[in-house]
Structure 1
Amino acid sequence: MRTTSVERLLNRAFGTLMVLILAAGAAGIAASALQYQSIQLLTERVVPLRLANKQLHNEMSQAQSALRGYLLLGDPALLAEHRRHAAQQPLAVARMRELARVDADRADIDDQDLAAQAWRDHALVQTRTAPRSAAALVTSERGRRLYAPMIVANARMDARLAADADRLRARAATIRSVTLTTSLLTIIAAALVAALTAVRVFSRINAPLQDIVRVLDRLRHGEVGVRAPDNSGLVEIRAVVQALNELADTNDRARRSAAERTRLDGAAREVGIDIRQHMSVASAIEAAAAGLGRMLAAEHVLVRLPDGQNCLWSDADAAPDASDALRRYLDLPLELALFDTDTSSFGWAADQPGPTPLSDRQADVLTAAGAHSVLVIAFRDPDTPAIGTVTVVRTEPDAAAAFTEGEVQVTEGLVAGFRRGLAKAQLFEQEQELVRRLKALDQAKTDFMSTVSHELRTPLTSISGYLEMLRDGDAGEISDDQDRMLAVIERNTSRLRSLIEDLLVLSRIEAGALRLHRSPCDIGPLVDAAVAAMLPAAEENGVQLNAEIETGLVAFVDPAQFDRVLVNLLNNAVKFTPGGGEVTVLARHDADGVLVRVADTGIGIPEAEQPELFTRFFRASNAIERAIPGTGLGLPIVRTIIVRHGGHIAVESALDRGTIVTVRVPDQAHTPAETQPAAVGAPEAP
């Protein structure tokens, strides 16, 4: 059979089908246009006009009935109803005129409008006639006679519109029947043409296609070696068979490549996980070399870095002489110039003719080691110069020993990941060294603070004792000027004693030696005592100190340490509040236990500096500018004590408006059982 037989057969069949389809489409479009025209007339003119006509009839009837009822009964509500319906009649007529499309419509509307107008004119006379009178009966009868012509005209127009509607519906039904008949005949003709074409085509191309289908089914069920036979006389079928067989060959190659790539990806993931588990640089390099060797079935892997951290991994079955030769390869200079930003790897083979990317010395060492195929990967970050190399060596001479493209790609990705893992290991080692140094420095600082604090207490105690003796007159009378000088010394001695005490407390906290001796304690008297102790300083600074304390504020605290918290907070509030300001202390029950709030109207704290409030030795910039004395240790100590009591502290402050410090500690109901008196006095973690 000629090459074009199938093409000619299909063209003829489809040409006939297209003619039938176009004819049926044209007939359908024409019929649809006629049917649409009928439906459009019915929906846009006849039905709306008929509804408007009925509305006019309804308004006239309602108005006439209401007027007659008014004349007979004299009910004002009926008169109002008559006027409402009479007012709607001109609107209904106007709506009908808008819908009118033919002269007959307009003539009928004019007849109704004239009759309705005559009736409305007489109705106006009727509304002025006294109801339930003889004149009312006379005018009502005349109105009934004037109403009759309008009703007759309305009924005539409704009958004509009903006839138009029936005619349009019948026309649409006829068009629909003709369209259905034409479509059915076209479908039958198309089915006959399609059947004839199918029979003719089936006998020529079905058998080869069935063979192709069977081959596809076998391929789908995993018979990768099956191929379709080329026994058809049609060029089209032969082309399909050839394409199918070529696709099957390509799929086989892709399947083998995908399986190998999947194996390599899985092995690469395992190697990457193994590398990331090593936190030292040396162990990470050894893990990378061993993992690459096992993944690529290579006998040797060499890792070379510029800082001399080199590694040679050899398979257990590798020849010892080859390993000894490759150790000399590690001593050769790095050939990093072989790699640019676009070159990540290259291969080398012992039997490769012509020049090689390696130097002569490197090639000689690899040849002496029995290397057959070599893969060299640049060790670097993306788009950066190479800093080292990873060399994979295979000594088997067969064709399978050559590195495939998939192996090269996976190895490049793994080496790039190894670079990140190595950087992580280097950072970890640096961090460990830094942590060790910081711990040593922190211990030295703690020892220094503790030693200095203890050494300062002894002379400070002696100074305080002699100062007290001088002020008491034990060494003789002193003048007023001398007494003022001694008062200054005494204040600064107190400040120094407070600083040393804070340093000692901070030292005990950092050393884990601060012990809490907690017991059920009423917070109220502690707050009251702290306020009383701070009153002289508040009065001296011109600050008003107020307290609002509830009763029965029992909490599980260390009284001495909690008193330290209260004194620190009150001292800060009074110290940072200018004269004329106010400090308010509130102590009450809270949903989480006992709340103590110290609010002042002082200088406040800059918003940007508030996150540093609990940092040791930190002082706000505005306090430094105003030369207000302090050490920056009070709030860190307060926070540590409160946290170790199981509570928390919060600070709210606005610059030049004041500061509010809120402390919450659990009461007995909110204190965990394991921290109750059985554990009182036990050392706690800082």
Structure 2
Amino acid sequence: MRSRRRLWGRTGPVTVGGLMNRAFTVLIVIVLVTGLAGLLSSAPAFLVISGPLTRVIEASGAQAAVRAVLTQAQTGLDGYLLTGADTYRALYEQAKRQYPGAMEDLRSAAADVVARQVDELDAQATRWWAMADPHIPGTPGSPPSDQEIIAIHEQFARETAASRAINAALAARVAQINRTNDVMNAVSLVMLITTIAVGLILGVRIGRSTTRRITAPLAQVLDVLDRLGRGDHDTRVRLDAAPVEVGTVAAALNANADAAATERAMLRSFQLHSAAVRQHLSRAHAVVAAVQAAGELVDADHAVIRMVPDEGGPSGPHVWSAPNAVGDPAPLAATPAEWLAAGPATAFVAEPDGGPRPPEAEVAALRMAEAGPVISVAFGEGSEPVGHLTVIRRQGRAAWHPYEVHLVCMLAADLGRILTQARLFEHANELVTRLQEVDAAKTEFLSTVSHELRTPLTSVSGYLEVIIDQEAGPLTSIQDRMLEVIDRNVGRLRRLIEDLLIMSRIEAGRLVLNREPIDLGAVIESVSQVVEPTAHKTGVTVTHEISEPIMINGDMSHLERAIINLVSNAVKFTGDGGTVTVTARTEGPEAVIVVRDTGIGIPAADLPYLFTRFFRASNATRQAIPGTGLGLAIVSTIVEGHGGTITVDSREGVGTTMTIRIPLSEAPAATAATANTVGAS
């Protein structure tokens, strides 16, 4: 991006100072040429005009010389303040040496023409010299402030005004002397204007060229900055020709963009490595993955994780080394890291023989690993470290960049969180295993107890039936009522035991459905007969409606139990004077059984949990209505085992509707085949 051009006969790098120097020099030349042209354009008049005009011209020449000297001094001062070049200082000092002689010549030539104006010019020039001298090396002073520079320029403007006053006075004298030579003056004026116009055109072109050569590459730099800011991270400054200073800025911008690209690439790599570590639910596996991720992430030679002893956690050091790595990290892995007492994710960055020094044992171990730049960081839960991560580059390799240190700290912090999550996961697994064992033991206990209760309950039920039938002798009315209560509770206990047995089979996966063609109408008739006595005692009316014969493939006993559970629940939760209606119909390929009651209903918040085992509706619990919470869970399992579904629609205080949908039987031949297949299975 550095441009080399031929400048003043020499080839070298183009600088902003060089361009400005050339521009100012050319402008000075234009000013001098313009002045010379003006003098030459006046030559015919000089030849014609008499001696007084000659003296005026001499005065004008002396004035021009003084003006040129002052202009040269101003140019030298400005150039030196801008670039610090010795050339400008020499220009200034030369002008200062020439000024006394030029001013003396002006006084001599203009003694009888513009003496007062010359005194004023000399006074203004003397003040300007006094303000400018302190800012040239070799004289007392310091670099000028902006206010001082403005004051110098304002003083130069007053000096210029005094010079112009002399020119005006001389011009007036010339006009007075040369009134008879108007034509020649007009011609001279035209020549002078033409020369000035040419000088202005040249000056504008040179200024624009200089400006373009500086601002065009700067515009490219600004454009790249804007594009980088808008997310175009691949753009770079590419200059064919530019001043050295602009090229340096562009190179620095490109270097920063490259560094930012490297940081983004490393951040993406960090995300991948961190994800690879997070996928491990075992603490030991997570530590092994983390030590490899740390080494690969920052292009280290060795990575070591030293764990704080923890019962049940990963133990021992974990070491990763890059292919062809030099040095032995084993001594470092065996060195305790308790000296790193900083909080987790706070990095210790050093070299074994430079910067902060860890304990001598650590330094010796690092030397054995031929370590150069080192990063050590503690990680853990809260302020208590559970381990220490150390990454090493061999001697002679580049020092760590700040973003590399940051990424290692982030990875260590991630590892601390991952270990915490893994520990919680392991504990949760242990808890789940124990809960499963407890649940299995509970299920086995319920199954065993239920089986054991059936035998004595059968004996109690048999003898109770003998007594009620008065085979053992007559009963009083009081004894009869007592035995009815006992019989009712024995039946209730029998149903509870049957529910527990079925639930234990369901949980053990041993519920067998023996499918055969059955008529739902017959099942519902049987259920109504079973439930009717209980409903009659509680003042609940039970009705059933069957529009047509409905045949399905199912297990007669289990379907009957499911429907009994639904109808019994409806009767139990319906008050005196209420009704329970059981209907059965076909809809397309399905048989639909609906049990509708006018009972207490179910709260909306309880509906999602209704078919969960041991769950009971909150209003039933508040009203102390007895129940185990197993009935609907058993119903749901039986219906699903028949390939059907059960849904509930309920409003608290209004009533509940349970709807069962079960596939109908196929054609008779197909039905028999299906029944045989199911029975065989």
- Which TM class, normalised by the smaller chain length? 0.5 to 0.7
Secondary structure of the residue aligned to 1:322 is: coil
The answer to whether the 8 A contact 2:551-2:664 is kept is yes
Secondary structure of the residue aligned to 2:394 is: coil
TM-superposed CA distance for 1:454, in Å, is: 0.8
Counterparts of 1:199-598 in structure 2, within 5 Å, are: 201-202=204-205, 204-206=207-209, 209=212, 228-230=241-243, 242=245, 244-308=246-310, 309=314, 310-315=316-321, 322-329=328-335, 331-333=336-338, 335-336=340-341, 338-339=342-343, 344-353=346-355, 355-356=356-357, 358-380=358-380, 384-385=382-383, 387-400=385-398, 402-590=399-587, 593-598=590-595
Distance 1:204 1:623 in 2: 97
**Cα deviations across residues 74-97 of structure 1 (Å, max 9, x unaligned)?**
xxxxxxxxxxxxxxxxxxxxxxxx
TM-superposed CA distance for 1:678, in Å, is: 6.3
Change over 3 Å in CA distance of 1:339–1:225 after alignment to 2: farther
Change over 3 Å in CA distance of 1:682–1:323 after alignment to 2: farther
Distance 2:675 2:545 in 1: 29
Change over 3 Å in CA distance of 1:201–1:557 after alignment to 2: farther
* 2:630 matches 1:628: no
The answer to whether the 8 A contact 1:617-1:633 is kept is yes
Letter in 1 for 2:319: W
Change over 3 Å in CA distance of 1:508–1:350 after alignment to 2: same
Match of 1:649 among 641, 646, 661: 646
* 2:608 matches 1:611: yes
The answer to whether the 8 A contact 1:376-1:390 is kept is yes
Change over 3 Å in CA distance of 1:249–1:262 after alignment to 2: same
Distance 1:405 1:214 in 2: 32
Partner of 2:661: 664
Distance 1:348 1:490 in 2: 88
The answer to whether the 8 A contact 2:302-2:322 is kept is no
Change over 3 Å in CA distance of 1:5–1:325 after alignment to 2: closer
The answer to whether the 8 A contact 1:293-1:392 is kept is no
Change over 3 Å in CA distance of 1:224–1:319 after alignment to 2: same
TM-superposed CA distance for 1:211, in Å, is: 9.5
Letter in 2 for 1:444: A
Which stretch has the larger CA shift, 205-214 or 593-602?
205-214
Distance 1:296 1:446 in 2: 55
Letter in 1 for 2:338: P
The answer to whether the 8 A contact 2:20-2:210 is kept is no
TM-superposed CA distance for 1:595, in Å, is: 1.8
Distance 2:301 2:580 in 1: 81
TM-superposed CA distance for 1:667, in Å, is: 2.7
Letter in 1 for 2:435: L
Secondary structure of the residue aligned to 1:477 is: coil
Distance 1:610 1:215 in 2: 72
Secondary structure of the residue aligned to 1:387 is: strand
Secondary structure of the residue aligned to 1:510 is: helix
Distance 1:559 1:225 in 2: 88
TM-superposed CA distance for 1:281, in Å, is: 0.5
Letter in 1 for 2:570: A
Change over 3 Å in CA distance of 1:314–1:573 after alignment to 2: closer
Distance 1:676 1:199 in 2: 108
The answer to whether the 8 A contact 2:343-2:385 is kept is no
Distance 1:513 1:567 in 2: 22
Secondary structure of the residue aligned to 1:562 is: helix
Aligned residue pairs: how many?
A: 475
Distance 1:626 1:210 in 2: 95
TM-superposed CA distance for 1:360, in Å, is: 4.9
TM-superposed CA distance for 1:415, in Å, is: 2.5
Letter in 2 for 1:643: E
Change over 3 Å in CA distance of 1:327–1:222 after alignment to 2: closer
Letter in 2 for 1:393: V
Secondary structure of the residue aligned to 2:512 is: coil
Letter in 2 for 1:375: I
TM-superposed CA distance for 1:474, in Å, is: 3.3
Distance 1:581 1:682 in 2: 45
Change over 3 Å in CA distance of 1:391–1:575 after alignment to 2: closer
The answer to whether the 8 A contact 2:217-2:239 is kept is no
TM-superposed CA distance for 1:420, in Å, is: 3.4
TM-superposed CA distance for 1:212, in Å, is: 8.4
TM-superposed CA distance for 1:320, in Å, is: 9.4
Change over 3 Å in CA distance of 1:477–1:269 after alignment to 2: same
Distance 2:556 2:201 in 1: 103
The answer to whether the 8 A contact 1:592-1:664 is kept is no
Distance 1:548 1:325 in 2: 87
Q: Structure 1: which 5+ residue stretches go unaligned?
A: 10-195, 231-240
The answer to whether the 8 A contact 2:639-2:645 is kept is yes
Secondary structure of the residue aligned to 1:491 is: helix
The answer to whether the 8 A contact 1:349-1:373 is kept is yes
Change over 3 Å in CA distance of 1:223–1:541 after alignment to 2: closer
Letter in 2 for 1:286: V
Distance 2:439 2:593 in 1: 34
The answer to whether the 8 A contact 1:215-1:227 is kept is no
**Cα deviations across residues 245-271 of structure 1 (Å, max 9, x unaligned)?**
133222332244234324423432332
TM-superposed CA distance for 1:229, in Å, is: 4.8
Change over 3 Å in CA distance of 1:339–1:611 after alignment to 2: same
TM-superposed CA distance for 1:348, in Å, is: 1.4
Secondary structure of the residue aligned to 2:252 is: helix
**Cα deviations across residues 465-497 of structure 1 (Å, max 9, x unaligned)?**
222222233333333322222222211111111
